[in-house]
Structure 1
Amino acid sequence: MKYSIRYGPGALSIILPDSLHVDVFTPRFAQPLADPLALFARALDNPEGVPPLEAMLEPRSVAIAVPDETRPFPLKALLPALLDRLFAAFPKLAHEKVRIVVGGGLHEAPDQAQLARILPQDLRGCSVVSHDARRSAVRHMGWTSRGTPVEINTAYADAELKIVMGMVDVHQFVGFTGGAKGVAVGCASAAMITANHRMLSEAGAFAGNIEGNPVRDDLDEAGAIAGVKLAINVVLTPEKEIAALFVGDPPRVMRSAAAESRRLCGLSLYDRYDIVIASCGGAPKDICLYQAQKGLEPARHCARPGGKILLLAQCPQGIGDERYTAYVARFFSHDAVLRDFRRHAFAMGAHKAFLFARTAAEHELVLHTDLPDADTARCLLNKGDAQTTLNGWFRQIPAAKVAILPYANTTFFRRTD
């Protein structure tokens, strides 16, 4: 049987023998909102846990944190509507005093071409700042109870009214994205992100969990310290259309959106599989190797011990993180990566090598990717053509049970025994 699976902006076709047992795990169907702008206006009228803009004191400056192009947030639709609402609510607010801070955490700061791809053309005279976690000026605003320094881009930190826009999606150790994460990671210093992410292997830090999750709790606390007042969060369909929209207090909004995301993307798992074929879900989820790794988390959970995993990830922007590349290139095996990571203090970049190694040390992992062979070899990863790889595996396991995860980056499993 022929299957078409997303790969970059297009699709990749694979053929599986009709005799095989194949299960395809997809998010539940969600009808996109018929009129998202009308719902957005109503949500701004009645935000969760905070007063509407019109009931707030008029600020002298506003900062809006928005995601970079690795997140398919519908900025071109929602940002103009938000700006119009802001200037209607605060008629004395100077347009140049509104800053749109594009934050991608440790991703490279977006250049003009990237900004043009994600931002609407008419920004109503507002300024745009591209956040760079390693180079941008940051304001130290305090410490969380877990010892994370709250260091936020000054263009955002110095504003009187702080807003964040983002999508809520499952995350392999934060539990779910959304809420203040677009500020507490997106617009944070490298030191702040490192301090927060060092808790990724602690109890409670796993996909789909926000209760007792130390990483998520730390982000929420950091957002409060940073003074994030209003969050605008969406849940998207696999086609990247808006399925649900929430406005209000960041932690409350994140939890409301997480409940909807959990309903759509949390799947039951009754068995393990010999072969797992995982697609990140296409662009922009597979924009680079650093992002594509997230597709391995559900794949490793549904693969049997020693099972085989094929990850489909185009990676047009390459590996995506120089520190990860420099770290993993020091080793000759995934076991060595795991030993070194557990022996030393937490370091960003190294954590991504750990997450890859955690899967690759227990499973045969092959990537179908446009990355050059030298790049995959440098990262200790095996590159192979999808169909050729699968044909070889089918010869080894003629009666293989196969799972296909067409949207692995937005899927998580609730194990059912």
Structure 2
Amino acid sequence: MIMHREYAYKYGKTKVHFTLDADLIIDELCIKEYPSLPDPVESVKAAIRNPIGARPLRDIVKPGETVAFIVNDTTRVANSHVFMPILFDELNAAGIPDKDMWIVFALGTHRLMTAEEMAGEVGTDVAKRVKMYNSDCKDKSQFQYYGTTSYGTPVYFNKQVVAADHIVCTGSVVHHFFAGFGGGRKAMLPGVSYYETVRKNHSLMLDPNAVIGRLEGNPIYHDQIEGTEMCRPSFLLNVVLNEKKEFLKVFAGDYILAHQECCRFVNEVYGVPVRKEADLVIASCGGYPKDINVYQLQKTMDNTWCAVREGGVVIILGECAEGSGSAAYEKNMQKYVTPEQVAAAVKADFQIGAHKAYAVTRLMKKAEFILVSSMEPELAKLLLFTPAKDLEEALKIAFTKLGSSQPGIILMPMGSLTVPLINNG
């Protein structure tokens, strides 16, 4: 007797209901419930006073010395407004006045921030106390050259950062689709680096080892560390947040060692051990706004890629009410009709922005991606997805492609958050 299970997965602002043969389900991957910190302020103080692999912050900076703090921009939520006042107060107590400290925002290649946005990130009190600067990657005069890495990356860091006696990196950590994890050294490179530094470093994403959840052996990471070591930060404060932007844990200390501990924790929270790769993965991005366009949907694609076998199929429930999310991305895909062509073009001329087409299509070499969305089928095909009007049609296409009515299936109801870890638990 076939037992069927019923499911309801988020799709845009609604839900898709479906049933599957229970015997086909290998696993349903869900994020662990992890308690938020009851008192984040005290946790931050404890972390900077009992750091990993370094002396306490107040023992590192001496009176008369200067400090540059690198802070996330608006594209990366870190709750900087909570911990930045604590860092300044801690150094004030150690004899470091506000005039000897300043903030540089880690924009990477993102747009410049307004004064209001800066104040919003660090809090109005901190904004009144210290000077704050954008790092404009396109203005070469803002950067100082330090050398070239063994990977061929010319290393330029923002002069406002390197002018200080001490550099303190801050930020939040999540999985990153080609750098392994965010946070740590990324505050420096790409955070406060010149455009050419970022472009050359990011071109290493063409390497097959530049994947989500991997630091060791990942050329992007090793290149970033090599560059950052040319102007080594004195201290790091990284935080891990949950989906509600609540603090789960705080890490501080040596910018490499504390970050590695932080990444292990991120794997504990967002990583889900999987016994084996599946023939078929069915995933929801988690609904609006995580599936508002293909740009946002890519995170779910990266995560499902970790769970599907070579030659398998992925079905993604993603409404994509705003289509691809990028006219430049669509224009790029009009030129190239296979993942191989996209890869060749990016390899010949790697540019920030155009790399998005490669980031999406490289995943399609491993598995077929069927997209259940509100996009026109022609647009989905242009982006190299197999379009389906609903899950029923998607399942028919998948079963035909796999040549089986009994494929092993992994379900991912929160595809944008859960990162499958094969043979890791």
TM-score in terms of structure 2 length: 0.81
1:277 aligned onto 2:283: yes
1:104 aligned onto 2:100: no
Match of residue 419 from structure 2 = 411
1:47 aligned onto 2:51: yes
One-letter amino acid of the counterpart of residue 14, structure 1 = V
How far does residue 399 in structure 1 lie from its aligned partner after superposition? Answer: 6.5
For the 8 Å contact 1:292–1:315, the answer to whether it is kept is no
Match of residue 241 from structure 1 = 246
One-letter amino acid of the counterpart of residue 207, structure 2 = E
Q: Structure 1: which 5+ runs fail to align?
A: none
1:72-151 aligned at under 5 Å gives the runs 72-94=77-99, 97-111=100-114, 114-115=117-118, 117-123=120-126, 124-135=128-139, 137-151=142-156
Match of residue 402 from structure 2 = none
Match of residue 3 from structure 2 = none
Q: Distance in 2 between matches of 1:148 and 1:17?
A: 51
1:203-242 aligned at under 5 Å gives the runs 204-242=209-247
For the 8 Å contact 2:238–2:251, the answer to whether it is kept is yes
TM-score in terms of structure 1 length: 0.83
Match of residue 178 from structure 2 = 173
Q: Distance in 2 between matches of 1:37 and 1:155?
A: 28
Q: Distance in 1 between matches of 2:161 and 2:291?
A: 29
How far does residue 377 in structure 1 lie from its aligned partner after superposition? Answer: 6.5
Q: 1:28 to 1:129 in 2, by over 3 A?
A: same
Query: Structure 1 stretch 247-256 or stretch 303-312: which is displaced more?
Result: 303-312
How many residues of Structure 1 are paired with residues of Structure 2 in the alignment?
Answer: 405
One-letter amino acid of the counterpart of residue 390, structure 2 = T
Percent identical: 23
One-letter amino acid of the counterpart of residue 58, structure 2 = E
Q: Secondary structure at the match of 1:250?
A: coil
How far does residue 134 in structure 1 lie from its aligned partner after superposition? Answer: 2.4
Match of residue 393 from structure 2 = 392
Q: Distance in 2 between matches of 1:287 and 1:226?
A: 39
For the 8 Å contact 1:152–1:188, the answer to whether it is kept is yes
How far does residue 204 in structure 1 lie from its aligned partner after superposition? Answer: 3.8
For the 8 Å contact 2:11–2:291, the answer to whether it is kept is no
Q: Distance in 1 between matches of 2:285 and 2:377?
A: 22
1:5 aligned onto 2:10: yes
Match of residue 16 from structure 2 = 14
Question: RMSD of aligned C-alpha atoms?
Answer: 3.5
Match of residue 368 from structure 2 = 363
How far does residue 140 in structure 1 lie from its aligned partner after superposition? Answer: 1.7
Q: Distance in 2 between matches of 1:393 and 1:377?
A: 13
For the 8 Å contact 2:80–2:171, the answer to whether it is kept is no
Q: 1:120 to 1:378 in 2, by over 3 A?
A: farther
Query: Which of 197, 206, 226 is the aligned partner of 1:192?
Result: 197
Q: Secondary structure at the match of 1:211?
A: coil
Q: 1:131 to 1:291 in 2, by over 3 A?
A: farther
Residues 308-349 of structure 1: CA distance to partner in whole angstroms, max 9, x if unpaired?
331537697983695x5654443344443134335x254433
How far does residue 116 in structure 1 lie from its aligned partner after superposition? Answer: 5.5
Q: Distance in 1 between matches of 2:255 and 2:220?
A: 15
One-letter amino acid of the counterpart of residue 391, structure 1 = E
Q: 1:415 to 1:368 in 2, by over 3 A?
A: farther
Residues 155-203 of structure 1: CA distance to partner in whole angstroms, max 9, x if unpaired?
2232222111112222222222221212211221221112212222435
1:380 aligned onto 2:383: yes
Residues 55-86 of structure 1: CA distance to partner in whole angstroms, max 9, x if unpaired?
22235532211222332211222222222223
Q: Secondary structure at the match of 1:122?
A: helix
How far does residue 249 in structure 1 lie from its aligned partner after superposition? Answer: 0.9
Q: 1:311 to 1:353 in 2, by over 3 A?
A: farther
Q: 1:27 to 1:191 in 2, by over 3 A?
A: same
